[in-house]
Structure formats: C-alpha cells, structure tokens
Chain A
Amino acid sequence: MIANLNPRSTFDSYVVGRENGLAASAARAVAETPGAAYNPLCIVGDAGLGKTHLLMAIAQAIEKADSRYSVEYFTPEGLSEAYHAAVSAGQGDAFRNRLVDTDVLLVDDLHALPLQEDIQAELVRATTELQGAGKQIVVASQVTPASLEGVDETLIERLADGLVVAVGAPEYETRVSILQRRSDERGARFTEGVLEAVASYEITDVRELIGVLNRLVALQAVSETPLTPDAARALYEGEVSGAGASAGEPGADTIDQFADFLSGVTDTVKRQVDAWESRLNEATKRWAERGYCTDRLATVTTTSSGKTVDETLEEFERDVEELRTLRDSVSGIDASLADDPAFFDPDRLVEARGIAEKVVSKPPALTGPSSAWRFEGFIGSWANAVAVEATKAVSAYPGQERNPLVLVGSTGVGKTHLLHATGNAIAETLRTGVVCVNVRELAEALADAEAGGTVDDLREELNAANALLIDDLHLAVGNESLQKILGAAFSRAYESQRQIVCTIDEDPRESSVLDESLRTTLMNGFVGTLAAPDRELRHGLVVSMLQDNIGAVDSALADYLADRPADSVREVTGSVVRVLDEAESRGIAPSAALARELIEGSVSEAPRRTPGVRTSGVLVAPSSSVRSVEKMIWVWPDPSERLIEELS
C-alpha cells in the first residue's frame, strides 16, 4: 500500500449523490481499467468535497485488484519534497524514473502545484511518456485545467484533452447519507431526526459536516440523555454564533466546551493511530510479499518493546538485512539450507545465525542438487518416459511412492540430469536436508573422513538427510566401506520413509557385485529405465541446442542429425557441436549439407574444443557445483587420436 494513503478512503466509504455521481462513476471506471477508460481524468471541485477521497479510492482499488500495478500518489508538497530530496542526493534521474515507471500517476490539488519550473517540466515529461505508454493519469484540482494559473501550458492542454468531471457541494440527501455513514463507522447511534436536523443546514464542506458530527458524538458521549434534534440544532447554531466571540467577552458558554475539547482530542488521537497503523500495514505487506514472516510487525501494538514505531520498523529492516547476508553465506556452501524458514523470520535471527555459523565453520561433506539441472531442461521421449514419470511422482510425494527409485541406463542417457532435477523438485517440498551426490564425491569425502577421523560425522550426515540421491552407484563397487555406509544409510532412510533415488548402469536385481544390504534395499523399490535416445529425443535435443546456440532451427539439419542413430545423448550433442564449430570456423550457417559433409564426407575436422556442454543436452554454467570431472567432458576422445595430436 502507498504509505500516504488513508486506508479508509475507498469507493465503499464514498457517499455518492447527484452532485458527485459522474465523478464517482468515472473514477470507478478508471480503477477497473487503468489507462483505458478516461485518460487523463481530471476531478474538479471546491475544497472538502471528496476529491482526495476519490483519488485515494482509485489508488487503493487498483492495488487491491492487482498488486503488480505500480501506483504513485502525490500532493504538491509531496511532489516538491520528493523532487528536492532526489536532486539534493544527486539522483534526479531516480525521481524522473519514479514518475515515468509508474502505471498510475495521481496528483492531488494540482491548483497548488509549486511554480518551480523544474518540477513542472518533470511532470510534463512524465505525463507525456505515461500517456504515450497507455498509463493512467488522474489529477484533482479546485479549478478546471483551463483556469489553472502558473501551470505549464502543455500540461493544461494535456489535461483538457481528457475527461474533466466536477464534484459539487452535497445536497440535503447526500448530507444525510454522509452523516449516517460516518455515524455507523464510529458506532454512534442518534435518535431519529438528529442527523436530519444537522443536514438541513447548508453545510457545503464535507469536512465541516464531519466536524459537526464529531461534536455530536462527543456531546452524546457526555450527556446522560440521548441528544434531541433541537439540541443538535442548538449545538450547530451555537458554534456558528460563538465562532466570532472574542476571548475578552464573558460567558461564551453556548456550546459544551468539554464536548468540543473531547471532539478535538478524539480527532487528533484517531489521526495518529491511523498513521501508525498505515505505516505498519504498509511495511507488513511489503515484507510479506518478499517472503518474510511479519509476525513481529503484526503484534507490535500488543506487546511492549519500549521502541517507537519507526525504531521497530528500522530494527525489523536491519534484521531482515542480516538474514539476507546470512542466507547468502549459507547458500554458497549448501543451497538446500538457504530455504530454511529461519532465514525468512526476523524473530528467528538467533537460530539463523546458529545455522550459518555451523555451516560456515564446518561445511557439510555432502552437497545438494545442482541448480543447473531441472525438469524444464530435460527432454523426454518414449525412451525415458517411465523413468521421468516415476521421478515426477517421487518429487510430488517424496518418501511415499516408488521408494527407493532406481534410474537405470548406460552412460550418457541423462540419468544425472534427471537425478538432480528430482533433487531440486524434492527440495522445493522438503526445503532442507536433500543430499544429491556422486559416488566419486562420496568416496572422496569418505577418504577425507577416514583420514580426519570424522567418519561418524559423515555417517550422521547421511542418516540425517531428508532425501538421499546418489549418482553412479555402480562406481561404489570395490569400495567395501563405502558400500557398507551407504547400505546402512539406505536401510535407515527406507525404514523411516525418507526418499532414496539413485542412478546405476545395470538393474540392481541382476547385479552380482553390489553389497547385499544395498541390493536388498534397492530391490524393494521401483526401477525406471532410460534407454538409448530414440528419434523423438534426438530431434528434441538437436532443436533445443540449435535454438540455444544460433537462435534458429534449420529443419533439414535437425532432421538429418536426428535421423542418425546414437547410443547416448552425448553422441547427439557431440554431433551438433561439431557442426556448429565447423560452420563457425568457415563463417557459414550450419546446414544439413555441411553436417552430411562433416559426418559422412571427406572434410577435415577443425580441432575439437571442450566446451562446458553437459552430456544430457543442457549447457552447464561454469559455476555449477558438479565436481565429477568425467561429467564435464562432452565426449571422450579416442586415445589414439590424442596421441597423434600430441606427437605432431
């Protein structure tokens, strides 16, 4: 919510009569379709007739309907303050951008616009750009655009081009409705005829009308009997006649002085309490939208902290800033921990500090899934349909279905990609404790732990994981101690319904080399096979790579490459890279003819490069946390070829 809006100024609380019906209707239309209905909209009327109320109602209705809309509301003083603050801070551009980047610009009391040319020039520039971009402009003024004095002609012309609607002084029926509505809001009840008696006076300023009502409320609060219409008339007439009495004249006792005093105090306290609530609500909404727990702000007025509202808000923002820093330090080491709820709750700052300290001082041996691999980048086909379906089921209900899940396939068919994608999806559900690691890394961690005497810590880390995802399990064969630790960890995870997913190059049911405890646990699960890429997968892969690398797809080239049989995804990506490299070195567009010539013909190949291309078809960012060297090489070179290169 914009900070300087009165939350009570909404369309629901705006009393509509004949004299302001058109303005209210236009304002509603603007709020429902900003930029489309009447643009600009100029609301004209004397002071105290509800122009500001309509502007604030528009702003709040738009924000409520779609919080993505950016709305700026300015009074002339606010505009001037914002401008001077920006200029004195050397950020004139920021002020300009603030005006231009908004979706809805509302300027109140335009007739009081500062005469400073710079500010007017900014406003003219902003209205020009906003109108050109179909963004909504609404202004309120006590005079029509044509009668505005000292305001830039361009601005006047622009406003006159839009809809100019007037709000008139409230008539008797409207005055009764306003008094009735405000009495209801304040929970005040009057005997019949009291409000009508007040409304019968030609009070044209709504603020004055509310002022009289405030006095009625205060008077009734201190009276033993309900107010009568005559007493209400006496109150108003007494005020009017007493207004000119000088202090020196005795006996100005025609009105209840205490009630008047009480009414003034009530108004002031109410304004202050509204201001606190408005600031707290605005801050609560802002931080909640960014995912932070705002319980502290919600309870600020019911607990005694000894701090002012501003101090409380500043402290909250400081704590959030520290949480961000702590989270950043943790996410660089263990991304899965960065989603811990403690990093989003300023009231759990101490806990967040503890987590960060623990992680930073003793980083976990085991990592989480790499964010480079997600389901979105995985190309599915009949060759891997069963495995993909199983991983998605596991992601939705970790530990409950298909546990353990074993992904079986030969090298380069996308098992690792699918494993990490599953790990990322599970992390979105479980948030913390998702271990996704290659057996090579695990073996290294075990060797380090054995050397450092911290095997128990490693074991504890495995046992504490909420989900265990192990890549290339077959590489554990021959490492007895690793198989035993994994067997125990799998067994405990299975018993406590924590998800296990692993990749392996052969069906564990047919394996004769896996440790018995590992094999037993895996045999209770579900096996999803990834076969060699079929034509559909190959075609999808080629199209994706061409699109990513050159932003266009030659269908003949895609068909040619997809038609070539391949045992692995690596083979397909290798072919695409070779064609792209050759095309680049020759300075021509890659084509089917070039591919045919390169793959089947006599053209000598350009020296191979080893780009960061992942074998499953996605480009791996250099910052990816994958450690396996084997996995970073897009195709294994023929040793004899390498030997010849080195000899030459």
Chain B
Amino acid sequence: MSLVNFTTREITCKIVYYGPGRSGKTCNLRYIYGKVPEERRGKMVSLATEAERTLFFDFLPLELGTISGFATRFQLYTVPGQVYYNATRKLVLQGADGVVFVADSQARQLDENIESLQNLQANLIDQEVDIRTLPLVLQYNKQDLPADLILSPHELDEALNFRELKSFAANALKGNGVFETLKGVSELVLRKLSEETPV
C-alpha cells in the first residue's frame, strides 16, 4: 500500500490495532469515533457477535483534511483477537503502515499478550515484513483496574517491550491514553514518509 500518492496529492495511513481477545482494541476505536467531529469521520464498520466480540474486524476511516497540500486520511482497523481467527488477522494486517499492539494489563492475561505478540511477529514474517522496521507502539490497557490485578507499565515493559518501543498506559473505556497512542504510532508512520515514499 502506498502511503503517499503525489499525483492525487493524498496521504493514506493504514493503522492496525492488534492484540489478544478482549484487550480493548475495539474500545480504542469507539473512543476515537466518539471524539472525532462528524464531518471528519466515516462510518465505523463493526462486525461483532452477540457477545460483542469482534467477528471479523472494525474499520474506522478518518479524514484529517488537507495538510501541506495533501488530503490526509487515516484508516484504523482492529483484528479479531481470538486465536481461531488467524486467517482474518493476516488479511487485515496486509499493507499495514503501522501497528498498535493493545495489551491487557491484567496479570493473568500476560501469557495471552505474549502469545499474541508472537503471533503478530509470525504473521508479519509470513508477509515478509520485518517487525523491527514496522512502526509499532504498545498500549497497556486497563490500567484503571485495581493495582493488585494488573501489572504496572514498567512490569509490562519488562515482559513485552523487547525493542524499547514507545509504550502508553491507557484506560480505553474512559479514553485515557487512547489519543496519545494514536498520536505516537502516527508520528512513527509519518516519519517513514521520506524514506519510503514513492513519487
């Protein structure tokens, strides 16, 4: 996927929210949807089961307007976290310009977080993408839960953040850290423009 199209003067960034089931990926998108003025957002597409679990994926297009002569738009996707939807995850991950890995801060979910992160790496390798070169940030969600149930950002960094990536503590339900995370991944994605942009 081409980030920048000089002919049509467009910048399009595809950002995928990845992570284990119930970590709060859709919650991130819903919060963003609620904060974006109506004229700046498209329809949020969400295919969920009766139990509100993402069945296929969520999609939220954002129109950021014209910046330095470029019509700039972001496309936010989530993947289904459940293990058995790996084919869908691969499909959604294709052509991603950046990834937000949403980790569940609950201590008992640590193994799921690690497994999902490994799954992300494996799926990227399948697509011949080096995880070390892909813009990637970590979000430690559910930091609002009682302290005895969760791991601190520092502990999660120790367990998951093997490359000293940017990480953000968050409470996606209330919105804390949601836009900070989006801003963090956006900066990484946009900084790669000059390195990889075809003209």
Contact = CB atoms under 8 A, between A and B. Distances in A.
B191 A268 contact: yes
A635 interface: no
B129 interface: no
Nearest to B168: A247
Nearest to A303: B7
A306 B198 contact: yes
A264 B186 contact: yes
A481 interface: no
26 contacts: A221-B65, A245-B176, A247-B143, A247-B169, A248-B169, A250-B171, A250-B174, A251-B174, A257-B178, A257-B179, A258-B35, A262-B65, A266-B64, A268-B187, A269-B11, A269-B67, A269-B193, A274-B68, A304-B7, A304-B198, A306-B198, A308-B195, A308-B198, A308-B199, A309-B194, A309-B199
B193 to A, nearest CB: 4
Interface residues of A, number: 40
Interface centre among B174, B175, B182, B194 (most CB of A within 10 A): B194
B183 interface: yes
B70 A273 contact: yes
A191 interface: no
A275 interface: yes
Given A261-B186, A268-B191, A301-B6, A273 B144 contact: no
Contacts of B178: 257
B199 A312 contact: yes
A312 B197 CA distance: 11
A253 B175 contact: yes
Nearest to A248: B143
Q: What's the interface size class on B, roughly?
A: 35 or more
B164 interface: no
A360 B87 CA distance: 61
Given A251-B175, A309-B197, 20 more contacts: A221-B65, A247-B180, A248-B169, A253-B175, A258-B179, A262-B65, A265-B190, A266-B67, A269-B68, A269-B190, A272-B193, A272-B194, A273-B68, A273-B69, A274-B68, A303-B199, A307-B198, A308-B197, A308-B199, A309-B194
Contact of B6 (A222, A248, A266, A302): A302
A269 B5 CA distance: 13
Contact of B67 (A270, A275, A312): A270
A234 to B, nearest CB: 17
Interface of B is mostly: mixed
Nearest to A301: B6
B176 A258 contact: no
B15 to A, nearest CB: 12
Contacts of B67: 265-266, 269-270
Interface string B15-52: 00000000000000000100111001000000000000
B65 A261 contact: no
Nearest to B141: A247
Interface in A143-178: none
Interface of B: 5-7, 11, 32, 35-37, 40, 64-65, 67-70, 72, 143-144, 168-171, 174-180, 182-183, 186-187, 190-191, 193-199
A300 interface: yes
Interface in A275-331: 275-276, 300-309, 311-312
Contacts of A641: none
Nearest to A250: B174
Interface in A207-256: 221-222, 245-253, 256
A249 B7 contact: no
Most buried by B among A245, A249, A264, A275: A264
Nearest to B169: A247
Contacts of B7: 302-304
A301 B199 CA distance: 6
Contacts of A304: 5-7, 198-199
A303 B186 contact: no
B171 A248 contact: yes
A272 B190 contact: yes
Contacts of B40: 222, 258
A471 interface: no
Contacts of A303: 6-7, 199
B171 A247 contact: yes
A345 interface: no
A585 to B, nearest CB: 70
A525 B38 CA distance: 83
Nearest to A279: B194
A250 to B, nearest CB: 4
B182 A261 contact: yes
A534 interface: no
Given A265-B67, A268-B186, A247 B199 contact: no
B190 A249 contact: no
A305 B199 contact: yes
A256 B180 CA distance: 12
